[in-house]
A and B are shown apart, each in its own frame.
Chain A
């Protein structure tokens, strides 16, 4: 095991997201605030885990970074600073050069992201062709090289296959090959191991580890499962109802959580694999209620209605981020703010 270096505080972040607000308008005209002021940085070579359940805004966050929201979504406010420019103000042509080439996005469900009628090799060549001018021979060679990064054995056979001939884990590897194709600085992966069995999941996470070291990548790994981030992320950002509940080094957020939501979430999971008999088949402490309806614009903290530590103040205004220490911040009135 190797200790990874904490980012130097003076190092310019690779990605700086400031006060991002995104709203969706439903067909009935109702507005819901999916992201209500999200700010965070990603440093060069860092892996940031975004811990979010359904309704947290995690997929909206991924899509917003590259302005890939659906028609009914709108970025209302905010800055996304990347390699010297604000992506939210960039010209379409600039954005095209960045998408897939400087920032790669790996979505959930590889079976939907891959074209069912094209061979895998072609789908990787397409990504290369969109951003680099390579003649056919070089394109083919580079495609095979990329496939060899993710399929050490027999990349040529995989290149000739159609997506449906591959397993879920293999399809995920193809998406990863597409993501690294143009040598991006940042990869954003949304639930990259959903629906994969544990050993395949472990292989994919291992692949991320290998590739990030080899290609000096920054990663934003989005998932609802805290355990996946435990061995992979440098820092964890906890997203709840479109706001950053807590952010800090992984071991601090996951082992010494501060925000009531983070604490309740971690407590609701079975503690160990081999639970003693009296814990087995017992009620798990759950977070009462459901994720909030984002069409409701309340004034206070968005976790308040489900919070075991709620106070009167929590309904009056949103808590601001408070530093627990230099690297760990939490947005909760329990800690000030």
Chain B
């Protein structure tokens, strides 16, 4: 299977000035190595502060790692100068947790989805609009709502918009950073189905960063567990969730609330 992304020994240190009230240097990533096969999904789980978001930012070329390499489609991208990274960024897109903050509330749905095409200087106005409308249809936003402002949409619809925007530049890798976490349970199911459909249709690869082990278990092929900037466990999702080896993985599994906790009517006092 073709490796779409390979990360080797990635390190990221932040100098003291960025982190007030703590000691001089913070190590966000320590020797992180893993790879993702094309058209598959890797779930990245870990507690807050484990380094998941820093890793996402480095892969998306929004942060420079201190050392190590990121190989995307066979080419090293982390060390490239800024101008060269511009060519790569369209192929690696991010969808964030909170669509209320990542979408301009005063932009219409159409404007949100055409913006990346505009910024990249692609095609003419007509072509951009056609492409945007096709994307809106693909993510399930009705055409009559194309000119509605972002703040007129529900949370689930806004996340669909964020996904449509992320697809505008035809990426190969989509990094979903807690993209379902702010949504209601029933809406998570809808977006989960959409992501699976798009993966199959467009051959997308996903890096799915989440706290939600149930969703990770449902959507991912493999799962990586992070703790304090390191990947401590990595493997096929059934194996890791059924027979976790590391304490932190076991803790996360134990901490996941289950409907079956109600089963025998006992409530822990």
Q: Which residues of A pack against B, CB within 8 Å?
A: 1-4, 47, 53-55, 165, 167-168, 195-202, 205, 209, 213, 224-234, 249-251, 254-255, 264-266, 268-270, 272-277, 279-287, 290-291
Contacts and interface: CB of A to CB of B under 8 A. Distances in A.
Interface in B205-231: 211-215, 217-219, 221
B137 interface: no
A232 B269 CA distance: 9
Ranked nearest first, the 9 interchain pairs of A and B with the lowest CB-CB distance are A231-B261, A230-B261, A268-B189, A198-B255, A230-B262, A53-B184, A227-B257, A2-B269, A270-B218
B47 interface: yes
8 contacts: A55-B154, A224-B184, A227-B258, A231-B257, A265-B186, A272-B217, A275-B218, A283-B193
A222 to B, nearest CB: 13
B262 A269 contact: no
A224 B33 CA distance: 36
B184 A231 contact: no
B253 to A, nearest CB: 6
B261 A198 contact: no
Contacts of B26: none
B267 A232 contact: yes
B48 A291 contact: no
Contacts of A229: 262
Nearest to A201: B255
Q: Taking each of B186, B213, B215, which has the highest tally of chain A beta carbons within 10 Å of its own beta carbon? A: B186
A326 to B, nearest CB: 15
A226 B185 contact: yes
Given A231-B261, A255-B259, A268 B186 contact: yes
A190 to B, nearest CB: 14
A291 B258 CA distance: 25
Contacts of B186: 53, 264-265, 268, 286-287
B267 A225 contact: no
A283 B154 contact: no
A275 B217 contact: yes
A281 B39 CA distance: 13
Given A53-B186, A198-B213, A270-B214, A286 B193 contact: yes
A230 B255 contact: no
A234 B184 CA distance: 22
Interface string B77-109: 000000000000000000000000000000000
Contact of A225 (B48, B185, B269): B185
A53 B255 contact: no
Contacts of B255: 198-199, 201-202
Interface of B: 21, 41, 47-49, 154-157, 181-182, 184-190, 192-193, 196, 211-215, 217-219, 221, 237-238, 241-242, 251-269
A273 B213 contact: yes
Contacts of A284: 189, 192-193, 218
A274 B238 contact: yes
Contacts of B154: 54-55, 290-291
A274 B241 contact: yes
A234 B266 CA distance: 9
A231 B262 contact: yes
Contacts of B263: 251, 255
Contacts of A232: 267
A231 B267 contact: yes
B109 to A, nearest CB: 15
B47 A200 contact: yes
A274 B242 contact: yes
B51 to A, nearest CB: 13
Contact of A230 (B192, B212, B252, B259): B259
A228 B251 CA distance: 17
Contacts of A265: 185-186
A228 B255 CA distance: 11
Nearest to B252: A198
Nearest to A3: B266
Contacts of A196: 48
Contacts of B213: 198, 273
Given A198-B211, A201-B257, 6 more contacts: A195-B181, A198-B213, A270-B215, A274-B238, A281-B219, A284-B189
A228 B214 contact: no
Nearest to B21: A165
A165 B21 CA distance: 8
Given A197-B47, A270-B218, A230 B193 contact: no
Contacts of A198: 47, 211-213, 252, 255-257
A229 B154 CA distance: 25
Q: Which residue among B213, B215, B258 has the maximum number of chain A CB atoms within 10 Å of its CB?
A: B258
Contacts of A230: 257-262
A225 B257 contact: yes
Contacts of A282: 196
Nearest to B258: A227
A277 B217 CA distance: 10
> Taking each of A3, A224, A254, A284, which has the highest tally of chain B beta carbons within 10 Å of its own beta carbon?
A284
A165 B150 CA distance: 33
Given A265-B185, A284-B193, A286-B190, A168 B48 contact: yes
Contacts of B251: 199
Counting chain B CB atoms within 10 Å of each CB, the highest count among A198, A283, A285 belongs to: A198
